[in-house]
Amino acid sequence: MIYSMTGYGKSVAIFQDRKICVEIRSLNGKAMDLSTRIAPQFKGREMEIRTLITTELERGKVDFALWVEQGEKADMPSINQAVVQGYVEQMTEIARNTGLSMPQNLFEVIVRLPEVIARKELYEVSDEEWAVVLEAIKSAIQDLMAFRKQEGEALTAKFQSKISNISQLLASVEPFEMERVEKIRARIEESLAKFAGVDYDRNRLEQELIFYIEKLDVNEEKQRLANHLQYFLSTMDEERGQGKKLGFIAQEMGREINTLGSKSNHAEMQRIVVRMKDELEQIKEQVLNVM
């Protein structure tokens, strides 16, 4: 079964007052090219995350994001009450000792002083929370693989159609082969007829014709191309990771089609070869998306 390298997956998990979001997307690539954006508290688990993604996805340009959305209470900045109390006591004592009056907007003044607004500290991730996050990552990967499978089914249908088209075009070459041989023979004999009265060895002529026609014989190319077409179809049924192999087979198909074209020496056969090249080019473009 074919899997595309194009895919998208997303998962959301809840742990206490936190919403953990995972998003992963992939495009085609020759190897695994993974970029990550991970919330700071999970940075220590990055290698584990990378290993999991690389093992499951195998190939492609992959973007992974993991972030945490805090609940409303957690999002609110906290005021350090002990620090506020300390500032009030100090300011009251200074006012009493110096005779200065306390500011009317005392609270507004205090909240601007250092350490009053408590800075958020990164919390330590517990094993329970990590288990929830790990399941969310796996779920997002499963979503992406389901997407890849769906895209792969569309690619399979397209490949089968293109291979069928090339096979039909290959079969359509046959009627022109004998016609081509007869035309070559007639052209040579017509040229010899211009030399009326010139004696020549007809046996030698037949030998030269056979040699010339054998050089233009395309039976081997046709057979090899037919084998490559069948091999392409059977390779698509393999479990996973056929992209590179299908690319190699498509290259071999191209070689046989090119040789067929160079040997054709017939206008209609050459038109058929051009159509086969067009079908093959579309296969090569789509093979780049196969995992």
- The ranges assigned to domains in the chain are 7-73+124-148, 78-118, 151-287
Give the pLDDT of residue 73: 54
Give the pLDDT of residue 75: 53
Give the pLDDT of residue 72: 52
CB-based burial of residue 125 (10 Å sphere; 0-12 exposed, 13-18 middle, 19+ buried)?
A: middle
Contacts by 223-229, CB closer than 8 A, 24 or more apart: 224/252, 224/256, 225/166, 225/170, 225/253, 225/256, 225/257, 225/260, 226/167, 226/170, 228/252, 228/253, 228/256, 229/163, 229/166, 229/167, 229/170, 229/253
Give the pLDDT of residue 124: 79
Give the pLDDT of residue 84: 83
**pTM value?**
0.70
CA 223/CA 227 separation, integer angstroms: 6
Q: Are strands 32-38 and 7-15 parallel, antiparallel or unpaired?
A: unpaired
- The answer to whether 49 and 134 are in contact (CB under 8 A) is no
Which positions ≥6 away from 120 have C-beta within 8 Å? 77
**What letter represents residue 154's amino acid?**
A
Q: What's the CATH architecture for 7-73+124-148?
A: 2-Layer Sandwich (3.30)
CB atoms within 10 A of CB 247: 15
Q: Which residues of 170-199 are buried (b: 16+ CB within 10 A; e: fewer)?
A: beebeebbeebbeebeeeeeeeeeeeeeee
How would you classify residue 121: left for phi > 0, otherwise alpha for psi between -120 and 50, otherwise beta? beta
Give the pLDDT of residue 117: 72
Matching residue, tokens 């006012």: 95
CA 263/CA 266 separation, integer angstroms: 9
Nearest partner of 5 among 30, 33, 26, judged by Cα:
26
For residue 70, give the H/E element and its range: strand 60-70
Give alpha helix (H) positions in 21-99: 46-57, 72-75, 81-98
For residue 11, give the H/E element and its range: strand 7-15
CA 28/CA 145 separation, integer angstroms: 14
Give the pLDDT of residue 212: 65
- The answer to whether 289 and 152 are in contact (CB under 8 A) is no
List the Cα angle 53/54/59 in 5-degree steps.
Answer: 115
**What letter represents residue 237's amino acid?**
D
* pLDDT digit string (tens) for the chain, length 291 residues: 899 999 999 999 999 888 999 999 999 988 899 999 999 889 989 999 999 999 999 889 999 999 988 765 555 567 778 888 888 888 888 888 888 888 878 888 887 788 777 655 556 778 899 999 999 999 999 999 999 999 999 999 999 999 999 999 999 988 887 777 677 777 776 776 666 666 666 677 667 666 666 667 788 899 999 999 999 999 998 877 788 999 999 999 999 999 988 887 778 888 999 999 999 999 999 999 998
Nearest partner of 133 among 73, 43, 62, 57, judged by Cα:
43
Give the pLDDT of residue 111: 76
